[in-house]
Structure 1
Amino acid sequence: MKIEQIYTGCLAEAAYYIESAGEALIIDPLRETKPYIERAAKDNAKIKYILETHFHADFVSGHLDLAAKTGATIVFGPTAAPGYAAHIATDGEILSLGKIKIKVLHTPGHTMESTTYLLIDEAGKEVAIFTGDTLFIGDVGRPDLVQKVKKEITPEFLAGQLFDSLRNKIMTLPDEIIVYPGHGAGSACGKNMSKETTDTLGNQKKFNYALRADMTREEFIKEVTEGLVAPPQYFPHNVIMNVTGGLNSIDQIIRRGTTALEPKDFQLVWETEEALVIDARSKDEFPKDYLPGAIFIGLDDNFAPWVGTLVTDLKQPILLITDQGKEEEAVVRLARVGYDNTLGYLKGGVKAWITAGLPTEQMDEIDAPEFAELYMKNPDMKVLDARRESEYNSQHIEGTINFPLDFINSNMSMLDKNSTYYIHCAGGYRSMITASILKARGYENLINIRGGFAALSKTSLPKTTYEAPKTML
């Protein structure tokens, strides 16, 4: 028997490969199928099942493509109603895989169809649970992601269901069982996840706030529903895609998205298709020369989640600028969160664009020590802190304005196009995204602070915790 966690850091998502006696299954696969097919081929195994723990909100599953290519059966838990062929398992049903068995445990709470899969080895011993978004390491799944689908299924109702699932189906299992969750720290599917991606159930009973033995149902509901921020706008769209199916294959999306376009052709497609140009190079390269109107969202950080947060139309035509050899990676990462309409990339990159005599712009930047000296002399300067509200409240430079990147589309009108703004985040990634979006919308007087709060905190600038936000004029 083999168990392998296939972890994708950009989405903080864990898929799983399990093999026994030449038969394999995949749990919660991402959009691309190649890694799973190659992994099974390495063991000379046939993929028999594709197990889905629930209809995912934070990514588009690859179960349909994978099933089409391998003949594997897609399995959902009780109450699931997908718009395509799948086996809807009953609570307690046993699935055979080689010499081992998988027991289906219906664990509603994150969603109504949420299911945990219990692995039983060839000796009949309960070894591991694959919990999806029911139980994380240090946390549980948020119960507010399906309330807009059925109004009677409120976060409080789902939290109560989750309490019952954990107490009646999970916590009754042996303490030595290994917990394999669907996500780790950084995912928006929970609020307090650990950086660890596996643990024993017994250890979680000691340290996971939601598994306290003396916790009442009312206390659980209150704690699980407190402090939830609005989910990224693409979440409900991904749920619908996962429920209904009927998607283009990942192979088609990659073929079109990796079309190499010469500068003049790139410019023509940009204009005629009203495409969005995403520059996915590093935050250090982008400001030196970029295409006027292009948006920076670098591949070297949480690329796909930020696209999903900021680009409100999943059908938006997209053109890419990437480092050489990174084109396919960018297309795949976009498709993982439902952005399937990538039309191609700039062949030769920005260098080819310049060689063709086409215009570029540069982003003004300043180092943290130089900014600190300037700010001490001119405390009325307008400084935007692009971190989340919780980060800002934890500690920030006195006098700065909290302007979270997450809400830039709704907050942008509060800024004055005639004012000069200095922008920082934690390390420089989000502030560069912020600056590029504002530039594309006609805000010209912007200066990015290199190194962000990490660099600013090392200067002599006074810092504070929460204070009433300044008005954005």
Structure 2
Amino acid sequence: MYIQQLYTGCLSEAAYYIESDGEAAIIDPMRDTQAYIELAGERKASIKYIFETHFHADFISGHLDLHKATGAPIVYGPETKAGFDVEVASDHQIFPLGKCMIEVLHTPGHTLESTCYLLRDEKDQPHAVFTGDTLFVGDVGRPDLAQKGDELTKEDLAGMLYESLQSKIVPLPEDVLVYPAHGAGSSCGKNLGTTTYSTIGDQKKTNYALQATSKSAFIKAVTADLPEPPSYFPINAAMNKKGYEELDAVLEKAMQPLAPKAFQEAGKQEGIWIIDTRDKEIFTQGFVPGSIFIGLNGRFAEWAGSLIPFDKQLLVITEPGMEKEAMTRLARVGFDKMIGYLEGGFNAWLKAGLPVDMIIDVESDELAMDLPFDQQLLVLDVRKESEFDAGHVADAVNIPLPQLLNPLRVAAIEDTDNIYIHCQSGYRSVIGASILKKQGFHNLRNILGGWKAIEQESKIPVAVTVTEEQLKEAEDAQAAKRDNNAAK
């Protein structure tokens, strides 16, 4: 028996290769499937099954392309309704794999079709459970991603998830390995741990969701403080459910080299978006006017899915040699309208003498010097509301990055404002600055190091946001203290 986790860091996604006696199964494959085919070839095994734990919302799965390449059936759990041929397994159905077996455990809650797969070894003993988005290290799958037509509340799904965990997962032996579909950084949960696997015993001791003493307590715990899911989640879930274009066909259209002047002309067409994937430090020094920065060195695919319209055609700028990597990552989250890239990269654009835009980078001490004297200075914080509430520059305006594309939110910025933009450490603020540039705001500066640098600058006044709930908690604490003192 052999198990290999194939982890894609920029999406915090884990696929799995399982093999026994020359037969292999793939669980939750990514859209680019060559790695699984090559691994099976190297190990002289044949791929017998493609198992999907659910219709993923955060990436496009590779089940269709892998099925075409191998002929292996695509297996989903009970209650699955797909727009292509699948084998819908029954609860506790057994799939033989070499000398081992894989048992289907239907675990609705994250989604209705969510299913875990229990690997039983040569002695029919539970060895590992592949939990998809049902159970993570330190967390469980968010229950607020009901698909269109399900008509279920997050509380409904959380209740189902509780029953699934208690009846199918918690009773497993404590030494059974837990292999989830995601690790830290994924938006599919709110408290994922830093390791990518665990055991049933460790999760029963440390996972906050498994500490709940009742169903109602569990529902309250897992539905509290859920961050807004990325806007592309419903699009990816629908594509995984209905079907999608083959990756090779998408990349064939995308991998079209365009000389600088041809790239410039293509970029002038209505509805075209230009995406620049270079490092942020390089981008701010010079870029093609109107292009949006989303660097490959950050959570590229996730931010692309959250910010770029899926109905637009895309032109891409990368460092030479990184074109296919960028296109593949875009395809992983459902983009299929890439139509070409800048041949020779940005240096070729410069050599052609074509127009260049730039973003001014400043240190936090420059903000400290300008704040007391510039009446038109606007500090724009593009972090999440929760980050802003925990600490921010006094009188700063908070517009979380995805909302910079909302005209109603951007209306808070005046043409006369001197904009100093920042995030936590610098990646999101450069994205935000490029979005504002595209919208016609050019009087702006990007604060290097973001909030981390600002916190260290003693001359910048900072504040925290106190919510009504926190005020109520403080008042209750004070009342309890007074009651205790009176009792004494």
TM-score class, shorter? over 0.9
Contact 2:379 2:393 in 1 (8 A): no
Distance 2:37 2:173 in 1: 33
Counterpart in 2 of 1:435? 433
Counterpart in 1 of 2:319? 323
Higher mean displacement: 101-110 or 392-401: 392-401
Counterpart in 2 of 1:27? 27
Describe the shift of the 1:208–1:340 C-alpha distance in structure 2 as closer, same or farther (beyond 3 A): same
TM-score computed with the length of structure 2 as normaliser: 0.92
Counterpart in 2 of 1:285? 282
Aligned residues, how many?
464
Q: Which amino acid aligns with 1:139?
A: D
Return 5+ residue gaps in structure 1 as ranges: 469-473
Superposed CA offset, 1:255-311 (max 9, x none): 221211101111222223631000110100101111111111111101111111112
Distance 1:200 1:182 in 2: 14
TM-score computed with the length of structure 1 as normaliser: 0.95
Q: Which amino acid aligns with 2:55?
A: F
Distance 1:118 1:376 in 2: 62
Distance 1:430 1:50 in 2: 36
Counterpart in 2 of 1:130? 130
Contact 1:147 1:154 in 2 (8 A): no
| SS of residue in 2 equivalent to 1:284 | helix
Contact 2:4 2:18 in 1 (8 A): yes
Distance 2:217 2:142 in 1: 15
Picking from 229, 232, 243, the partner of 1:231 is 229
Distance 2:355 2:377 in 1: 31
The CA deviation at 1:412 is: 1.6
Counterpart in 1 of 2:266? 269
Aligned-pair RMSD on alpha carbons?
Answer: 1.5
Counterpart in 1 of 2:158? 159
> Counterparts of 1:184-263 in structure 2 under 5 Å?
184-212=183-211, 215-245=213-243, 247-263=244-260
Picking from 335, 339, 344, the partner of 1:339 is 335
Segments of 4+ moved more than 6 angstroms: none
Distance 1:373 1:23 in 2: 66
Counterpart in 2 of 1:8? 8
Distance 1:126 1:395 in 2: 47
Counterpart in 1 of 2:349? 353
Counterpart in 1 of 2:102? 102
Counterpart in 2 of 1:421? 419
Distance 2:271 2:345 in 1: 20
Describe the shift of the 1:147–1:98 C-alpha distance in structure 2 as closer, same or farther (beyond 3 A): closer
Describe the shift of the 1:467–1:290 C-alpha distance in structure 2 as closer, same or farther (beyond 3 A): farther
Contact 1:55 1:239 in 2 (8 A): yes
Superposed CA offset, 1:3-36 (max 9, x none): 1111111111111111111111111011101111
| SS of residue in 2 equivalent to 1:211 | helix
Contact 1:379 1:399 in 2 (8 A): no
Return 5+ residue gaps in structure 2 as ranges: 468-488
Distance 1:147 1:267 in 2: 40
Counterpart in 2 of 1:178? 177
Distance 2:356 2:234 in 1: 37
Query: Are 1:17 and 2:17 matched, yes or no?
Result: yes
Greater C-alpha Rg = 2
Distance 2:238 2:2 in 1: 33
Counterpart in 2 of 1:117? 117
Counterpart in 2 of 1:471? none
Contact 1:259 1:343 in 2 (8 A): yes
Distance 2:186 2:463 in 1: 28
Distance 1:276 1:370 in 2: 33
The CA deviation at 1:239 is: 1.0
Contact 1:142 1:224 in 2 (8 A): yes
The CA deviation at 1:458 is: 2.0
Counterpart in 2 of 1:453? 451
The CA deviation at 1:357 is: 2.1
> Matched residues, percent identical?
50
Q: Which amino acid aligns with 1:288?
A: Q
